[in-house]
Amino acid sequence: MINLIVTLSKYLLLILIALYTLESFIVFGYRYEEDKRYILKKQLMLIFFMDFMAFLVIFLKKQELEIIYFFIVQLLYFIAVQILYRIFYKNSSLLLLNHTCMLLSIGFIMLARLDMESAVRQFEIVVIATIIAMVIPVMIHKFRFLNKWTWFYAVVGLLLLLTVLVLGKNVNGAKINISFGGFAFQPSEFVKIIFVFFVACRLYKKNMEFRDHVITTAIAAVYVLILVLSRDLGSAVVFFITYVVMLYVATKKPLYLFAGLGSGSLAAVVTYFLFSHVRQRVIAWKDPFSVYQSSGYQIVQGLFAIGTGGWFGMGLCQGSPNMIPFVKQDYMFAAICEELGGLFAMCLILICMSLFVLVVNISLQIKRPFYKLIALGLGTEYAFQVFLTIGGVTKFIPMTGITLPLVSYGGSSVLSTIIMLAIIQGLYILREDEDDELERQKRRAAQMARREAQRTAGEAHRKKSTRG
């Protein structure tokens, strides 16, 4: 009976996420807010139903009461977040909020299936991050001096990266963490946000000269160089691509874009010859079976998992994702493919794309150049991180060790991503407030025009009466 429920559940979970994904794009076509809210409410119900079905299957397979408790607590968390945003931020993007809940839900489901202790720890960090995130939209709205802290952002970001370079803990050949009090902290996850603010401060002004661009590029290059020296190459690529995109959008000069891509390609070749672990990753990417016993083992196991899952997956708790090293951090996408199927994984990718499209729309509609660049930069970081993660797992590109935002296990990653999305939420609310203010100005102008017309008509009538 349990096996029958597990088998049926994988098809039901696929239908639920497919419906959610479809509505994630349909909602962009609606003009009226009432129609959008109807779809967004349906999305929320799909999340809850998918959550219930998945945790029911995990409980039936594991027979652990802790799973039921965890399901109830995280369901209450999702409900609380939805209510709080509707109370305190009436102009917030509910689609962005739904996507956050959906991605977190998928992450909790897979973590509960893989390791309940990790799921609980991840949930605790998510709650802390959400408490912080609830304040951020207010800060974005009230703090009008964020564009004046240019060198503060630059210094703080560089100091954090230098601290990791000097004191960081070596993890798989790269210095990415600082450990204290039993906790591992990854500063580069938060420097990503600081870096975007620094670049936006430097590039949002229209009267910048070539010399200013050279200085900004030099400082950005120092960021990337420190990450390369720390051998955190995944983060270095994210920083580099984000800067190139922001520079091109701010200046609208294709020469900068091509120069950036060319220099990045040259830097990749130099890095290949400088670092042995980069060469090992490239060899493992080209032919993982030739180094199966060493650097290729993880890639091969990930490919086996993806191939085993097929289109529809084996069902929750029916596969062997724990055979993949670092499955919770680096290869969560492979675990999803194995147990929930390739079609489910494709829906996950489309949801991430929908989130990116939403952020780009927000960036395009914001009127202030500084905030426009921040939205674009944060959206680029998110999208490219998703690309690096999924591209590495599927052997499309060499593995970089980047986590899948909100889905993979990692305290620093989930904390920084929730803060990043809260900033974007604040920018969306700011845009809505700008639109409301513009609408009020139009109404005031229309009222003044009517009053002026009435006054003119009244004077004309009085003059006509006087002449009569």
The tokens for 339 are 């147990």
Alpha-carbon distance of 302 to 308, in angstroms, equals 10
Q: Which residues are bridge partners to 169 per DSSP? A: 177
| pLDDT tens digit sequence for 274-312 | 877 778 888 888 888 888 777 788 888 989 999 998 899
User: What does the pLDDT average to over 352-360?
Assistant: 94
Alpha-carbon distance of 257 to 213, in angstroms, equals 13
Q: Which residue reads 């991840």 in tokens?
A: 122
- Contact predicate 337/345, CB 8 Å: yes
Among 72-76, 290-294, 318-322, 421-425, which stretch is predicted with the lowest mean pLDDT? 290-294
Per-residue three-class SS string for 11-72: HHHHHHHHHHHHHHHHHHHCCCHHHHHHHHHHHHHHHHHHHHHHHHHHHHHHCCHHHHHHHH
> Does residue 198 surpass a pLDDT of 60?
yes
312 CA to centre of own chain: 26
User: What does the pLDDT average to over 392-401?
Assistant: 85
Highest mean pLDDT among 12-16, 175-179, 296-300: 12-16
> Long-range contacts for 27-30 (Cβ within 8 Å, ≥24 apart)?
27/95, 28/357, 28/361
> Does residue 125 surpass a pLDDT of 60?
yes
Alpha-carbon distance of 129 to 113, in angstroms, equals 23
Half-sphere exposure of 453 (CA within 13 A, CB side): 6
* Residues listed for the chain: 468
> Which H helix or E strand runs over 286?
helix 276-286
Q: Which of 388, 289, 390, 302 lies closest to 346, judged by CA?
A: 390
Among 40-44, 173-177, 425-429, which stretch is predicted with the lowest mean pLDDT? 173-177
